[in-house]
Structure 1
Amino acid sequence: MQAMFPMICLIPNVIYFVVAQRVHIEFEMAEFIPFPTCVIPCLIDPILTIYYVAPYRNFVTRRQRSVAIALTVSVAPSSTRTF
């Protein structure tokens, strides 16, 4: 999935460019779509890595649990107050 995702995002850019060059008309998508679609794999790849690679997923879930435990401990009300 990680190997195919960049190709899925980059191949349409090449097709947009070729169509715009061959047809000789203003093809708005060929001008504005390439940058956002080239950035998508960079945003999605870390999420896929965390989800599908077991050691990363275990590390992230352990960190989330430890943060959740730390937050519940630090939010516990105190019985003594000093003014």
Structure 2
Amino acid sequence: MRNIKTDSRYASASEIREIIGPFEGEVIARILEIEPTLEDVQRAYRWLRSDEHLLRNLESNLGGKAEEVFEILDDEFPDFDSSGHPG
């Protein structure tokens, strides 16, 4: 059986920008304050772009820091277009 090792270090500003795109510096700073891992940011951004989230208006079940990152992103850009970019 393989052990899957996750990266538990905090995501850097440049890594966050690579995932979420060209958000304003203030948004990046708010995310950095949470001290999320790279996985937290990836999960939050995937949920933000999720069809289920958009079409069914479902609540996320992310929990923890991923939930906090999602809330910041959703507050800033609640309406994404079909390409997954802020509309």
TM-score class normalised by the smaller sequence: under 0.3
More helix by proportion, 1 or 2?
Answer: 1
| TM-score (norm. length: structure 2) | 0.25
User: Which structure's CA Rg is the greater one?
Assistant: 1
| TM-score (norm. length: structure 1) | 0.26
